[in-house]
């Protein structure tokens, strides 16, 4: 049995904490608001974010970061991407030395263009081997209700990966290991704005073929950026890539898909947000992704066009019809088998080579 701190009591943090607690580990869930922590501990339910789902009686909640972190052997960070850096500064004095720090957060920091694992290392000073990311088709409602699910834990240290797999895995939640931190993390981040695009297509009424086209283009888009940043292109064919992309684009539970669908039906962003209790990470993401793509000289047309709707007031229908009428070899190219060029083995995906 390990002592695990889960920092963040939104829907995903709560669902993940319930998994770890049901696995027999001493699990403490940190909530920003004292009243929420007290309610979870007393009622064994998170009425704000997972109403109707009973949590393990063994799960303890607190609003005191010291209480949550003291003696922890694993720390899981489940804050929204825009709040992660501030949260880490708050937690830093109580962080247990040497404990693996696991990012459950999917996003890219707008100001620095850092991935979440990079933010964790920047604030805490932890070495790369101490930081892991967990990502996959992980809709919180399904996991909280103990429906079959799976995820990927990525870290450069195989011993840490094995340790985390044993800690997080239960019969209904399977954990796969990967050394590809960059690919696992980028798949989890970029699928959020892609889900907004698919939601727009649903709201406008463009049909299933258009949604399938967007998913295919989106997979190619995230793979291009990932390869340029050093990711293994095959990561995007697995749970952390296409698996997460499909779940987020197609599920009614997806907040990002919901935002896109409502925009497609003609509603304003402020109206949609007024009805939502939880953050839709994809709304702020296109601006950061476009900036990162331009820095790396990678074409990201879906990110650019979703941003035009979110920030510039472009009509979702006009944007989608313009985007989907484009024909680009880079956008539709498949990952091709490895081959040799000038004595160097290369893989090619969507027009970009990766040695």
> Which residues lie below 8 Å from residue 152, measured CB to CB, with a gap of 6+?
134, 135, 136, 175, 176, 177, 178, 184, 238, 239, 240
Residue 153 has pLDDT above 50, yes or no: yes
Helix locations, 34-180, DSSP H: 34-43, 65-69, 84-91, 116-124, 140-144, 158-168
Return the pLDDT at 279: 62
Question: What is the pTM (predicted TM-score) of this model?
Answer: 0.89
Decide: 168 and 153 in contact? Cβ < 8 Å.
Answer: yes
Task: Provide CATH 3.40.50.720 ranges for the chain.
Answer: 3-179
Q: What share of the chain is helix, strand, coil (3-state, %, to 5)?
A: 55, 15, 30
Residue 329 has pLDDT above 60, yes or no: no
The residues that bridge with 7 in the sheet, in sequence order, are: 30, 77
- Other beta carbons within 10 angstroms of residue 166's beta carbon come to 11
d(CA 65, CA 34): 11
Residue 90 has pLDDT above 70, yes or no: yes
- Give residue-wise pLDDT tens across range 156-205: 999 999 999 999 999 999 999 999 999 999 999 999 999 999 999 999 99
Judge whether 191 counts as a catalytic residue: yes
The domain 186-354 is classified under which CATH number: 1.10.1040.10, 3.30.110.40, 1.20.140.10, 3.40.470.10? 1.10.1040.10
* HSE, side-chain direction, 13 A CA sphere, residue 31: 23
In CATH terms, the fold of domain 3-179 is Rossmann fold (3.40.50)
- Give residue-wise pLDDT tens across range 238-247: 999 999 999 9
Task: Provide CATH 1.10.1040.10 ranges for the chain.
Answer: 186-354
- The catalytic residue among 106, 191, 211, 284 is 191
């Amino acid at each position: 049995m390990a002592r695990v701190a889960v920092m963040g009591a939104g829907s995903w943090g709560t669902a993940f904490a319930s998994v770890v607690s049901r696995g027999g580990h001493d699990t403490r869930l940190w909530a920003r608001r004292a009243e929420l922590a007290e309610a979870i501990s007393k009622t064994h339910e998170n009425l704000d974010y997972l109403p109707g789902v009973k949590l393990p009686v063994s799960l303890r909640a607190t609003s005191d970061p010291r209480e949550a972190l003291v003696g922890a052997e694993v720390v899981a960070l489940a804050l929204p991407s825009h709040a992660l850096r501030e949260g880490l500064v708050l937690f830093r004095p109580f962080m247990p030395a040497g404990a693996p720090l696991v990012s459950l957060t999917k996003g890219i920091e707008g100001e620095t263009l850092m991935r979440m694992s990079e933010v964790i290392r920047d604030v805490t000073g932890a070495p790369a081997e101490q930081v892991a990311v967990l990502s996959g088709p992980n809709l919180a409602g399904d996991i909280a209700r103990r429906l079959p699910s799976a995820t990927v834990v990525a870290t450069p240290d195989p011993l840490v990966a094995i340790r985390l797999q044993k800690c997080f895995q239960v019969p209904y939640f399977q954990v796969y290991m990967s050394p590809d931190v960059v690919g696992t993390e980028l798949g989890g981040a970029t699928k959020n704005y892609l889900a907004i695009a698919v939601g727009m297509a649903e709201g406008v009424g463009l049909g299933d073929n258009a949604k399938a086209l967007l998913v295919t283009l989106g997979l190619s888009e995230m793979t291009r950026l990932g390869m340029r940043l050093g990711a293994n292109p095959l990561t995007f064919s697995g749970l952390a890539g296409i698996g997460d992309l499909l779940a987020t684009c197609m599920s009614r539970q997806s907040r990002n898909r919901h935002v896109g669908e409502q925009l497609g039906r003609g509603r304003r962003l402020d109206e949609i947000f007024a009805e939502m209790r939880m953050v839709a990470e994809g709304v702020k993401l296109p601006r950061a992704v476009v900036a990162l793509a331009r820095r790396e000289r990678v074409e990201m047309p879906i990110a650019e066009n979703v941003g035009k709707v979110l920030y510039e007031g472009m009509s979702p229908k006009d944007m989608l019809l313009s985007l989907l009428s484009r024909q680009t070899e880079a956008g539709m190219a498949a990952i091709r088998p490895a081959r040799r060029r000038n004595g160097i083995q290369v893989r090619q995906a969507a027009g970009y080579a990766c040695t």
